[in-house]
Amino acid sequence: MHPNVQKVKTFLDEAGLHGRVRELTEGTHTAAQAAALLGCEVGAIANSLIFMTEKGPILVLTSGAHRVDTDVVAAAIGAEAVSRATPDQVRAATGQPIGGVAPIGHPAPLPTYLDVELAEHGELWAAAGVPASVFEISYADLKALTGAVEIAVE
């Protein structure tokens, strides 16, 4: 098991959410690829996206069916501007590669925002630290686990 995946699994185990990490036969770099492989709606994929603000990186957990409107997010969180992070910024903030960023298991806590549309799905799937692993989680557990603030992203 990759060290990033082990870190996510340990975090989930410590939260009492056992046995939820799945290693996949192939990497899933997009929500559509993950949904196809898992047999779920693309909207049930909880993308972990890193954005930059004047105060540093933030994590936005959004439905795979949505495009994040950075102006909407900036207004919702009171930031001057929100821009997509570079791959180097993503790895520095999370320790994980784009396409595999988990909502948990980062070197330091990140301000986290949760797309309210994810609540429409009973079971969510999120990356587990590398593109070829995921874990299942409910909206309520994801919100509690990450301490996320609910916002609209589009």
> Which tens digit of pLDDT belongs to each residue from 29-66?
788 888 998 999 999 999 999 999 999 999 999 999 98
pLDDT confidence of residue 18: 73
Is 49 in contact with 66 (CB distance < 8 Å)? no
Q: Please choose, from the candidates 81, 92, 82, 90, the residue with its C-alpha nearest in 3D space to the C-alpha of residue 131.
A: 90
pLDDT confidence of residue 85: 98
> Which tens digit of pLDDT belongs to each residue from 93-133?
999 999 899 999 999 999 999 999 999 998 999 999 998 89
CATH entry, 3-151, from 3.90.960.10, 3.40.1190.20, 3.90.850.10, 3.40.50.720: 3.90.960.10
Residue 1 banded pLDDT, cuts 50, 70, 90: confident
Q: Which amino acid is residue 42, in one-letter code? A: V
Give CA–CA dist 115/28, Å, rounded.
21
Can you read off the two tokens belonging to residue 72?
A: 């909407």
Task: Compute CA distances 126 → 54, 72, 115, 138, whole Å.
Answer: 27, 23, 13, 10
Q: pTM here? A: 0.94
pLDDT confidence of residue 26: 78
